[in-house]
Structure 1
């Protein structure tokens, strides 16, 4: 079997998944300083919704300086620092300040738990995530990251239960299925992984990540016909998926379909990002060269 280094780039969680931002309503009796801070946060939210995270950060930062006791300003600044500016330590500081200032809410606890998972502190993450679930047992994102914390702690049964709770609450969101299927693959339960991915596909028929994961697992197990079908389906859904095109090339090579493999590799090399996909590009070129040499050898016989 041809070895290829990565599952799917799109298989990873996006950096800004599950953020909760919203315009704050003025409460009766707000003092002037708080009203001004609320206006700054609301302007920041509008900027963030337009995709202008730099200006949003400036508004949230001004709000924290204008009214240091305003929890929502710290919460929103924490979101930008952690998930847009890639400053997790600063994000953690502002989430903790928002929690200290109160009132205690699910989203602040969740963001603290999530960030601690992502920065390598799963034990600390579980404290916040369990507190979030005490407030809202049906908070699917907290179950999701609880599963990730348990997986990091090598507690697969607990991770399994957490992701199944996430799926039960939010079956039309593919992330829980993806993580649970990957967990089963990690422990060699390949048939169970297929079942999870296929169940996810039934709930999310247009989710290319789930379809791509079926193809990756099928390729690894030598089920090339199933892999080719899955990768082609992923490309039908989203023709610009470089991961699916890359994986399809290897599936064709495994199936002995050299010409189709070469054509897919040529397309991949034409459109792949040279900065982001260096390793995959090197591998694709090496396999393409090997297939071309093999073709020439056969023609020479």
Structure 2
């Protein structure tokens, strides 16, 4: 079987696996069984004459051959999807930008940027999707988003080690803050000391292979009272007096009335960046206009904080 005979279904399945990071997640997204996904990948590998995925305990990773196939598959499927949109009477790819965003960016940068873009370039259609940074990086690699707003924490490493390296632009860098119930002892002051965070009950979740919601670098095993992936859910649990959590500074103005937000003193400064990421190469005009709107929104919000 020559690679030119590879089916569009197999290419779509492969793109989904590359984006989701596991065969199980890809199967759930596509509505397939895991064995059906495995068969499609096996057929594509036979056509390519080389392994495309490296199976690991935490999911799959693209091989060098897999990166080549993904890059070409993304281009082919992008053209097919664009043709389908045109046939359906929807805007063509030239006027559509697919944007991925993390939750903290969606709370402030995204609404301002999209409102401004709609006023200045009403013919540009922006299709958005929310996700964690690792998932959005995979989506960029898979070609299912054109540009993404990612989060980055010290020491600000590249979001992945794939090639080619993503083009990254820092839009904003802000401190990490502590959210506590208004009646909590820590809420009596205008800040919290890092030493006062020991022995506290935390509301946390997981993301990017680390715990999110616990102050970084504590010299103890934290007590996780409740786990939640959604920032709003975490803040509601704090509001109910069930624990404390950390939040990006960008979310400080969105907390419920019963929550106080405090800076933390002592220890290293905990900064968080929001970065605009895309694959390297020429920037289509709609993407450039969206990027400019995102920059302006980040700057405008930073000046009004």
Instruction: Compute the TM-score of the two structures, normalised by the length of structure 2.
Output: 0.25
Q: Choose between structure 1 and 2 for higher RCO, CA contacts under 8 A separated by at least 6 residues.
A: 2
Higher strand share: 2
Q: Tell me which structure has the larger Cα radius of gyration.
A: 1
Instruction: Compute the TM-score of the two structures, normalised by the length of structure 1.
Output: 0.25
